[in-house]
């Protein structure tokens, strides 16, 4: 066989290659991303002919920030390794946090149980069977003091995954810090506080959208004055993706939510640069390696461009899309769960190559139960191996200039702009939620994905191919059912020993303020300081604001 | 062609968890397979689920639980069905349920079948059709 040489014009070379490849057989499968986007056999200079380095990429830390939000990225400091944890009671979770910190974790991330997430105390009938199951149960300041006992809140940053009742948990954190002698301006961390994606995907809502947005803008205003280092919203694509969306849908819907918060802040009379620097993001790292990297790069560019051009942000920090990443829970399999360690490692690598600011790596057993200490350690070690051994953190945005990655980045930006147009035509994010637009788009994508698996257009190792008989499930973490009884007794004891007259007065003041336009944060803070419970505060707000109801569609 | 009564299924999300991806995918697959499907929507109490099942005159209730509360919710739904004289309605379910809990729920008769991650919708459709014949 003679040597094939591409000498002559580039076009001629391409033609020769096309002729050559056309005669070669391909594997019978569909070549597409995990989002069902077709992928070509080859990407070349022609795919990024329109790319202008200065306009579209720029230098790290410089507009439009495609290559990263810091000038030195991981050469200065590695990403924060932040494992999401929380289960059972505050005491057990406190022990897990101390363990994780002792193992080299650099920030805390709190998982709450469902009653806390939905604003019910542990002894409420709706909490039955759910206390401490998927996260830690927090009812009052006493629980929060236990949760962070022996952990100095001026030395670490904490992320709290809490949405509908975010204002209450945030006030509990501030009040806990006060008790430790740490003033609020020294506190750093994040509350998820992203209610829009709850209506769209995760479905842990309490109030209707309007009062929910008011609570969020109250937090913006209070944080701007008193808790300036706090990330007030973590605008989340993670749950949108887990609910079944494609990568582009995750990107487009998340950014649309972000711009909706910006508009809400502006509408509430705030200067965009007074709150936008504290907005942060939270994305999924799914299994499709290049698609995910392109998604993060496109996200930074779109956010910067719109914030500057459409919303007139002047402070550079308002343009920076800083984000946390979690590997994709929905990509893990209950079959041969040890394989999940490998999946998670690739996903984490994509997040790092995409320039994440912090990262949670899932544990192999999370598809079955809350993770054991051993599996959490392996997940954390996965990040440490990426950071210390693989060499990928030595240089910034190493995939820039790749024909494929740049073409995908452009494609994602263009597709996202199309979704923005559709959302605008529907009347904006709130109107689109009301019409079930996002919910239907996600449900369609989830169903298509399932059918692809069942028709074997998509192979999942251990699920629809490479299967085997498995003897026994790996060891799982168990939550003692007694935890619920203990926690119920604890909250009842708090109610018995506090000053109930003061509590009643403060709840009355909150109720009154909720009916006016006053900022509610100082009122909530006063309540939690007096050991009013989360459930009692939310109940008052429920009575004033009402409850959200969804039209179920499938 | 023989007129066949369509199988009626209530797909329910009891408890506080909002993870409805699986429930909605299954609901749609059952509908595409020709069954009559009622989806309760989220955050249902056991009482609401049983009331809807009786009102909608369903043959089967499918409970989707990803919150770890399965050991309390399945028995509660079964108890309420009995109290309402509706124990002829079959209870099945799905979600993140560890093996030993599956043994307990099936063993004690709180669920006729449980479908965990990795199950195809075709398997669920097949199981329901077969169960409905008997």
Count of alpha carbons within 13 Å of B39, Cβ hemisphere only? 20
In chain A, residues with a C-beta closer than 8 Å to the C-beta of B33 are none
- The answer, yes or no, to whether residue A235 has pLDDT greater than 90, is yes
Low-confidence ranges of chain B (pLDDT < 70): 1-4
Place of tokens 């959302």: A423
Would you state the pLDDT for residue B16?
92
> What dihedral do alpha carbons A252, A257, A261, A263 form, nearest 10°?
60
CB–CB contact B98 A481 (8 Å): no
pLDDT band at A373 (very low <50, low <70, confident <90, very high): confident
- The answer, yes or no, to whether residue A226 has pLDDT greater than 50, is yes
The secondary structure of residue B14, as a DSSP letter, is B
What does the alpha-carbon distance between residue A162 and residue A231 come to, in Å, rounded to a whole number?
13
The secondary structure of residue A241, as a DSSP letter, is H
Of A118, A128, A134, the CB nearest to B72: A128
Give the best residue of A133, A452, A485 to mutate against chain B (max B CB count within 10 A): A133
CA A540 to chain centre: 29
Of B39, B99, B118, the CB nearest to A335: B118
Arithmetic mean of pLDDT, A300-314: 98
Nearest to A162 by CA among A195, A189, A133, A128: A195
Of B37, B67, B122, the CB nearest to A134: B67
B48 reaches A (C-beta below 8 A): no
Q: How much of chain A exceeds pLDDT 70, in percent?
A: 98
- The answer, yes or no, to whether residue A7 has pLDDT greater than 60, is no
What does the alpha-carbon distance between residue A502 and residue A54 come to, in Å, rounded to a whole number?
60
Residue ranges of chain A whose CB lies within 8 Å of a chain B CB: 114-115, 117-118, 120, 126-130, 133-134, 198, 202-204, 242-244, 330, 333-335, 367-370, 443, 446-447, 450, 453-454, 463-464, 472-473, 476, 479, 481, 550-552, 554
Would you state the pLDDT for residue B1?
46
B43 reaches A (C-beta below 8 A): yes
- The answer, yes or no, to whether residue A9 has pLDDT greater than 70, is no
């Amino acid at each position: 066989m003679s040597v094939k040489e591409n000498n002559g014009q580039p076009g001629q070379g391409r033609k020769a290659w096309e002729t050559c490849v056309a005669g070669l057989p391909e594997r019978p499968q569909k070549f597409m991303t995990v989002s069902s986007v077709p992928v070509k056999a080859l990407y070349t200079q022609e795919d990024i002919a329109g790319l202008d380095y200065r306009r579209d990429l720029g230098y790290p830390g410089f507009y439009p920030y495609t290559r990263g939000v810091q000038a030195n990225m991981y050469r200065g400091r590695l990403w924060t390794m932040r494992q999401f944890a929380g289960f059972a009671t505050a005491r057990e979770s406190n022990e897990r946090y101390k363990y994780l910190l002792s193992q080299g974790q650099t920030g805390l991330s709190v998982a709450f149980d469902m009653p806390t997430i939905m604003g019910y105390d542990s002894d409420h009938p709706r909490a039955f069977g759910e206390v401490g199951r998927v996260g830690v149960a927090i009812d009052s300041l006493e629980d929060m003091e236990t949760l962070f006992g022996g952990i100095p809140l001026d030395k670490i940053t904490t992320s709290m995954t809490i949405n509908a009742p975010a204002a209450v948990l945030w006030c509990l954190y501030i009040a806990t810090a006060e008790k430790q002698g740490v003033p609020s301006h020294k506190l750093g961390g994040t509350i998820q506080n992203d209610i829009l994606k709850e209506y769209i995907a995760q479905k842990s809502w309490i109030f209707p959208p309007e009062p929910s947005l008011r609570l969020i803008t109250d937090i913006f205003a209070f944080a701007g004055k008193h808790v300036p280092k706090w990330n007030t919203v973590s605008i989340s694509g993670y749950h949108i993706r887990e609910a079944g969306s494609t990568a582009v849908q995750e990107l487009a819907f998340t950014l649309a939510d972000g711009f909706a918060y910006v508009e809400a802040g502006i509408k509430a009379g705030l200067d965009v640069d007074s709150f936008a620097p504290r907005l942060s993001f939270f994305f999924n790292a799914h299994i499709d390696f290049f698609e995910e990297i392109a998604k993060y790069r496109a996200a930074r560019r779109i956010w910067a461009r719109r914030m500057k051009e459409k919303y007139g942000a002047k402070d550079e920090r308002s343009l920076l899309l800083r984000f946390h990443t979690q590997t994709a829970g929905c990509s893990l399999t209950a079959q041969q769960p040890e394989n999940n360690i490998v999946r998670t490692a690739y996903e984490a690598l994509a997040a790092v190559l995409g320039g994440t600011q912090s990262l949670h790596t899932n544990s192999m057993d999370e598809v079955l139960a809350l993770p054991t200490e051993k599996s959490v350690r392996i997940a954390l070690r996965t990040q440490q191996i990426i950071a210390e051994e693989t060499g990928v953190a030595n240089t910034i945005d190493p995939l820039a200039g790749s024909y494929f990655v740049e073409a995908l980045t452009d494609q994602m930006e263009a597709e996202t702009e199309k979704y923005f147009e559709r959302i605008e035509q529907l009347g904006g994010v709130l109107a689109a939620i009301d019409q079930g637009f996002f919910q239907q788009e996600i449900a369609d994508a989830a169903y298509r994905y399932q059918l692809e698996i069942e028709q074997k257009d998509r192979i999942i190792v251990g699920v629809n191919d490479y299967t085997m008989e498995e003897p026994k499930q790996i060891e799982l973490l168990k939550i003692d059912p007694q935890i619920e009884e203990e926690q119920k007794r604890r909250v009842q004891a708090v109610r018995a020993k506090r000053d109930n007259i003061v509590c009643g007065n403060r709840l009355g003041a909150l109720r009154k303020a909720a009916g006016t336009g006053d900022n509610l944060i100082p009122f909530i803070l006063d309540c939690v300081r007096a050991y009013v419970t989360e459930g009692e505060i939310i109940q008052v707000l429920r009575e004033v604001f009402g409850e959200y109801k969804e039209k179920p569609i499938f | 062609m023989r007129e066949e009564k369509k199988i009626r299924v209530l797909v329910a999300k009891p408890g506080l968890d909002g993870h409805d991806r699986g429930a909605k995918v299954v609901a749609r697959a059952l509908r595409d397979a020709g069954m009559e499907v009622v989806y309760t929507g989220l955050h249902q109490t056991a009482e609401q689920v049983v009331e809807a099942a009786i009102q909608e005159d369903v043959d089967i209730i499918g409970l989707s639980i990803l919150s770890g509360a399965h050991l309390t919710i399945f028995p509660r739904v079964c108890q309420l069905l009995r109290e309402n004289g509706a124990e002829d309605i079959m209870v099945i379910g799905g979600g993140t349920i560890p093996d030993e809990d599956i043994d307990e729920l099936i063993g004690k008769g709180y669920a006729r079948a449980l479908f965990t991650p990795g199950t195809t919708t075709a398997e669920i459709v097949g199981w329901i059709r077969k169960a409905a014949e008997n």
